[in-house]
């Protein structure tokens, strides 16, 4: 694996270094509810500051429509970053305007600033390359070099991720290097037994990774909303549960391919069925082939894997040496449907080899359920980027940094 590192940029004391982080944290009433991505940025930022670099952090947050929107301001993130670094963090109230120019110009050696949300400028995510390049050029005026460390966006061709890396001397930060090292271990000669646990809502989101990993794993465990398309492929009725009818034939193909390869696909044997979507719903556990066998009939919907399934999943996980997990087992945000996800997370903490939580909702789930990051081998900061890597896709934000697999 080849990748330009920070060392390739030479001495950085006194130089203005732009760091593209992924600080896209969840906010509620202006407060950060999970600061995992902020904490993940610290090793790179501390390394640069200790060299005497003048650091300008850029990131996106949420999906503003290419214009300022105070709901998506990075101000709370800058405040939290200062707490974690234990030093002042200046904040620019715009991205490339007068505030950003003044803030960056005022930095001394070893000082740091955060610029406002990149997506307040439409050029960041524009589909037109020339518009992205124009915005990247405005950003480039603030720096002597770019350190790209936002792993969660390396699968996107966006101005701060791709074009900016072409305009300035650029290298990958420590977070990206760490993410790639772990993902490489999942794809190149992983220690066996190797289990992959997939959940989340839609099977269509995971088709690529299923197809790419199927020849590489020993066990594939299926939970979350996507499980119902697998059950439908077996001919089971699934009530009002989430179902992608157009993917049933594809799933049948994967089941046949797994049998041909000798890969065990572990499907739920029981499901938590609810009368409605809500924490106050009436809840029953039913066998996977009897989901409609409740007073709710065809209107019942499955919202979590059942206890027998959770126990089986945990057994497979604990007896595996390498485990990758992406996607909750149920609607973990609601207490009646959190048990499956909790059981899977607990089992991952007991893996003797490498356990990887694949970012996104999975990372949010383990923290919401009061697990600590250090209980797992690795928690990825990029769910979509991790999946696309495991699908074998090209990732433009890495290729521009000289990455070759």
- What's the pLDDT score for residue 155? 94
- What's the pLDDT score for residue 405? 64
- Domain of 360? 182-391
As annotated, the binding site for ATP includes 206, 302, 333, 359-362
- What's the pLDDT score for residue 1? 57
- What's the pLDDT score for residue 2? 82
Task: Please tell me the pTM assigned to this model.
Answer: 0.90
Task: Give the catalytic positions in this structure.
Answer: 37, 202, 360, 384
Say if residues 54 and 183 touch (Cβ distance below 8 Å). Answer: no
> 151, 174, 197 — which closes off a domain?
174
Residues 37 and 108 in one domain: yes
Rounded average pLDDT per 10-residue block, the chain, 405 residues: 90 98 93 92 98 98 94 97 98 98 98 98 97 98 98 95 98 96 90 95 86 93 96 97 96 96 97 97 97 96 98 98 96 96 98 91 90 93 87 92 84
- 255 burial via Cβ count (<10 Å: 0-12, 13-18, 19+): middle
- What's the pLDDT score for residue 382? 85
How many domains is the chain partitioned into structurally? 2
- What's the pLDDT score for residue 205? 84
pLDDT tens per residue, range 260-279: 999 999 999 999 999 999 99
- List C-alpha distances in Å: 37 to 4, 23, 192, 302, 379: 22, 6, 30, 31, 10
- What's the pLDDT score for residue 227? 96
- List C-alpha distances in Å: 100 to 30, 58, 90: 22, 11, 10
What CATH number should be reported for the domain holding residue 78?
3.40.50.1260
As annotated, the binding site for substrate includes 22-24, 37, 60-63, 119, 156
As annotated, the binding site for (2R)-3-phosphoglycerate includes 37, 119, 156
pLDDT tens per residue, range 292-337: 999 999 999 999 999 999 999 999 999 999 999 999 999 999 999 9
Omega before 70 cis (within 30°)? no
Residues 220 and 83 in one domain: no
Residues 168 and 259 in one domain: no
């Amino acid at each position: 694996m080849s990748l330009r590192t920070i060392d390739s940029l030479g001495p950085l004391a006194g130089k203005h270094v732009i760091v593209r982080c992924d600080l896209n944290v969840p906010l509620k009433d202006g407060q950060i509810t999970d600061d995992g991505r902020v904490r993940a940025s610290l090793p790179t930022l501390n390394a640069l500051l200790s060299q005497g670099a003048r650091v300008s952090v850029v990131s996106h947050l949420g999906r503003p429509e290419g214009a300022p929107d105070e709901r998506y301001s990075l101000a709370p993130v800058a405040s939290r970053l200062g707490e974690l670094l234990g030093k002042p963090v200046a904040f620019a109230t715009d991205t490339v305007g007068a505030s950003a120019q003044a803030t960056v110009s005022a930095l001394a050696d070893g000082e740091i600033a955060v610029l406002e949300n990149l997506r307040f400028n439409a050029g960041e995510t524009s589909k037109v390359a020339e518009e992205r390049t124009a915005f990247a050029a405005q950003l480039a005026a603030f720096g002597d070099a770019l350190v790209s460390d936002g792993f969660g966006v390396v699968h996107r061709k966006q101005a701060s991720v791709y074009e900016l890396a072409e305009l300035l001397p650029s290298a990958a930060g420590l977070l990206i290097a760490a993410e790639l090292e772990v993902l490489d271990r999942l794809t190149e000669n992983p220690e066996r037994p190797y289990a992959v646990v997939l959940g989340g809502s839609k099977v269509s989101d995971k088709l690529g990774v299923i197809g790419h990993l199927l020849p590489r794993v020993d066990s594939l465990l299926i939970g979350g909303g996507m499980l119902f398309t697998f059950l439908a492929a077996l001919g089971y009725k699934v009530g009002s549960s989430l179902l992608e009818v157009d993917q049933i034939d594809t799933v049948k193909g994967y089941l046949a391919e797994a049998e041909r390869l000798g890969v065990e696909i572990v499907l739920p044997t029981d499901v938590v069925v609810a009368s409605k979507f809500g924490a106050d719903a009436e809840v029953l556990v039913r066998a996977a082939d009897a989901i409609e066998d409740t007073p709710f009939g065809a209107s019942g919907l499955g919202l979590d894997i059942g206890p027998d399934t959770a126990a089986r999943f945990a057994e497979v996980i604990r007896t595996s040496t390498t485990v990758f997990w992406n996607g909750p087992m149920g609607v973990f945000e609601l207490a009646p449907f959190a048990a499956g996800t909790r059981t899977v997370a607990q089992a991952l903490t007991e893996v003797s080899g490498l356990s990887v939580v694949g970012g996104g909702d999975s990372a949010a789930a383990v923290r919401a359920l009061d697990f600590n990051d250090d209980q797992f081998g690795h928690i990825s900061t990029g769910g979509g980027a991790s999946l696309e890597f495991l699908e074998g896709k090209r990732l433009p934000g890495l290729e521009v940094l000289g990455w070759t697999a």
